[in-house]
Structure 1
Amino acid sequence: MSQALHPMLNIAIKAARAAGAIINRASLDLDILRINTKGPNDFVSEVDQAAEQVIIETLLQAYPGHGILAEESGREHGARNSEYVWIIDPLDGTTNFIHGFPVYAVSIALAHRGVVQQAVVYDPSRNDLFYATRGRGAFLNDRRLRVSKRTRLQDALIGTGFPFRRGDNFKRYMKMFEEVMQQCAGLRRPGAAALDLCYVAAGYYDGFFETGLNPWDIAAGSLIITEAGGLIGNFTGESDYLYQREVVAGSPRIYGQLVQILSPYSRVIKADEAEGAAAEAGAQATPEQALADSLKAEAPAEAPAPKKGPVRIRKGEAAASSTGTDTVNQPTPPAEDAPF
């Protein structure tokens, strides 16, 4: 990498490559891999846990006062009240990995006061490093990334992710899938959302949408997209997507057309999830569900309601909630106050 990188980004890259080395070694002998389930079709392997451990150790060795939000360990590590929070998915695409399908990645983002400032997504099987610093552009290895220039949805290649967990509304998703499929040039579903978002930034896709995602799936990719000139939001075009479990992204024109198609499904998805939660009351929550519930519980009661109308997200405005007192709609701190 020829350009000078921010010190915090360098540490994130070091952590991502260390995790990638663990993943690559394990990929050579998948038969001996120990695998557990967090829920139906939701797997965690010893590789996820080892990769997460080396990431956390690398980050906290450099920045012991920072907070951690990680997929497998939640907020067990780091300082809970820090303004700096690392949002980590040690192996996005675990199902692909355990089957030997080489589409998976390490995702690491750093949020400061609820706004993502640094982002790394590392594809260890291809040795592809996607990264961005807020305000400095997005890159794949040494190449500057820009979203595609296509303007018509009928010419666009769109990425998506299928629902797979218990309680997901498959029929509702298939209606969305059918509607988008009939209006675009093609739909793809490789199975690793962090990489999907980077593919939008690189212009491989013109847009992307998925439901059921968690903050660690999308925090890094969101900054990489906006730094590449793209837009990202929830199905109604608002910027509070990290905890809405719905996300749409794309080049500006394609993004707008996808929001038009998907916005009618937004409230219905939330109603479906509420009904599913009520139906499963009393069932033991998975660690992922428990963490999501705790994050929602920590949200301030006085948080401002989201705007009713669709809004455009300016370049670099992707936000990640970093502490229980931050909200994803929190405005970006003035440039003179930011330590970046």
Structure 2
Amino acid sequence: MNFLNQFRERNQLIKEWIYEAAETIKKSFDAELEIQQKTNRNDLVTNMDKAIEKHFIEKIHHFFPGERILGEEGFGDAVHSLDGVVWIIDPIDGTLNFIKQQDDFAIMVAVYENGKGQLGFIYDVMQDKFYAAQVGEGAYCNGNRLSPIKDTPLKEGLVAISSALMSEKTGLARAVGRTSSGVRLIGSAGIETVHVASGRLVAYLAASLAPWDIAAGKVIAEEVGLVYTKLNGNKIDLLQKNPSLVATPTAHKEIIDLLNSNGKSYM
């Protein structure tokens, strides 16, 4: 059975795995977490992040042997190309929120084939909102199809901007915020992306997103007509970190123009 013929099977299995993972996470709320620092005090990983990633890897290896896995916590494969079928997984997107708030975090799973996103899933665990998309078939939230986005300009909508961009000394991201109707910060790339996809925001900007922060949301975003690129307008590279922008087409152009207004380059 080829990949295209497996869409229904993959959809069903992935949804089951994500709901199982969510239950495991919620049961951990009363337990003491093992927390480790990665690059800095705001970049943390817990025993739960690791356990959930292992959960997905075990399932994928069993049902789809031979397919490669790129996971945030490093238990997957060393992926140096997107040839063939590659799964891209973020077991808990918004780990700091998970630790500090037990809210505003998501489970994200994407399946790519030869570099093209085929399936994307983002589960906002505490809000019980399950976003899913299949290439060419639209995007859904809890089974209800998301409408194609309205091409709202920047001045008429809210934007989400990562804290790293907001603190930049150039103030360019703040200029985007001032041009918009207002700024909202959540701290989960997945949740902020689906808020753009569902029309609650016109854009989400981030200083540096890893492949697992982007992959699922990109599939969902593009299925509703959003534009997802680097901050300089170039194509996303899912083998490295990217300064990223997802927005309505009009807001996307306006933001790129604002960010490039003083010659600063976002690679």
TM-score, structure 1 normalization:
0.70
Q: Say if 1:147 and 1:200, in contact at 8 Å, map to a contact too.
A: no
Q: Which amino acid is 1:177 matched to?
A: A
Give yes or no for contact 2:105–2:188 (8 Å, CA) kept in 1.
Answer: yes
Counterpart AA for 1:60: H
Does structure 1 residue 208 correspond to structure 2 residue 210? Answer: no
Query: CA distance change for structure 1 residues 238 and 156 in 2, over 3 Å: closer, same or farther?
Result: same
Give the drift of 1:170.
3.9
Q: Which amino acid aligns with 1:254?
A: A
Tell me the distance in 2 between the aligned counterparts of 1:10 and 1:201.
22
Q: What is the deviation of 1:245? A: 1.7
Q: 1:251 to 1:58 in 2, by over 3 A?
A: same
Which sits farther off after the overlay, 139-148 or 222-231? 139-148
Whether contact under 8 Å (1:12, 1:59) holds in the other structure is no
Q: Deviations over 1:180-234 (max 9, x none)?
A: 1210101111000011111111111111111111000010000100001111111
Larger relative contact order (CA 8 Å, sep ≥ 6): 1
Higher-Rg member (1/2): 1
- Contact 1:36–1:44 (CA under 8 A) maintained in structure 2: yes
Partners of 1:202 and 1:54 in 2: CA distance: 29
Provide closer, same or farther for how the CA distance between residues 179 and 17 of structure 1 changes in structure 2, counting only shifts above 3 A: same
Contact kept? 1:67, 1:81, Cα under 8 Å: no
Q: 1:89 to 1:210 in 2, by over 3 A?
A: same
Counterpart contact for 1:213–1:246, Cα < 8 Å: yes
Aligned pairs for 1:85-234 within 5 A: 85-149=86-150, 151-163=152-164, 170-172=167-169, 175-234=171-230
Residues 44/204 of structure 1: CA separation in 2 closer, same or farther (3 Å cut): same
1:102–1:70 Cα change, 3 Å:
same
Change beyond 3 A, Cα 1:81–1:155 = closer
12-21 or 68-77, larger mean C-alpha shift: 68-77
Matched residue of 2:60: which SS? helix
Q: Go from structure 1 to structure 2 and tell me whether the alpha carbon gap of 1:203 and 1:265 turns closer, same or farther (over 3 Å shift).
A: farther
Q: Greater strand percent: which structure? A: 2
After superposition, the C-alpha distances for 1:24-59 in whole angstroms (9 at most, x for unaligned) are: 1112x15x1111111212100011011111111122
| Pairwise CA distance, 1:16 | 1.6
Q: Does 1:35 align with 2:32?
A: no
Q: Aligned partners of 1:266, 1:105: CA distance in 2, in Å?
A: 35
Identical pairs, percent: 28
Q: 1:256 to 1:6 in 2, by over 3 A?
A: farther
Are the aligned partners of 1:132 and 1:224 in contact in 2 as well (CA < 8 Å)? Answer: yes
- Judged with a 3 Å threshold, the aligned counterparts in structure 2 of structure 1 residues 38 and 134 are, in CA distance, closer, same or farther, namely same
Distance 1:123 1:175, change over 3 A: same
The offset of 1:171, in angstroms, is: 2.9
Task: State the Cα RMSD in Å.
Answer: 2.5
Is 1:49 matched up with 2:46? no
Q: 1:176 to 1:146 in 2, by over 3 A?
A: farther
